[in-house]
A = this chain, B = another copy of it.
């Protein structure tokens, strides 16, 4: 078994199917070797994971939400790979992660929240999971979600 799928099994992570967009767009778009993944909002029990950091959620809860988004992103990424007859082993590297954290004007730990996603990607993809990243605090997110994360991923030729 590949390293990636063995790690997912060890971590008891089941990847969901590609996210269903909440509106008129696609969960991913493949352009050359690159996969652009739409912003995925955190979900809990199938609905938006509602909350705002600094108001109704603390950093540890935000990290948990960010990790759950990473799982959903990997599910969508797997679906992208499958759409061209491959699987997650086709990933050359996670290139860029952009993390939008629903924040009060006082909350300043967006980078720590986002580590919930980055750490999981690094554990699953190892050196292929090291990425460039931006994290920042947004005024609000669709459906009141606490975190939204998008990714750009390069596949092997």
Contacts and interface: CB of A to CB of B under 8 A. Distances in A.
Contacts of A105: 52, 104, 139-140
B39 A140 contact: no
A80 B24 CA distance: 25
A105 to B, nearest CB: 5
A143 B29 CA distance: 32
Given A52-B105, A95-B36, A27 B132 contact: yes
A25 B133 contact: yes
A91 B2 CA distance: 37
Interface string A38-53: 1100000000000010
A17 interface: no
Interface in A130-157: 130-144, 148, 150, 152, 154
A26 B131 contact: yes
Interface stretch (A7-15, A82-90, A111-119): A111-119
Interface of A: 21-29, 31-34, 36-39, 52, 93-98, 100, 103-112, 114-115, 118-119, 122, 130-144, 148, 150, 152, 154
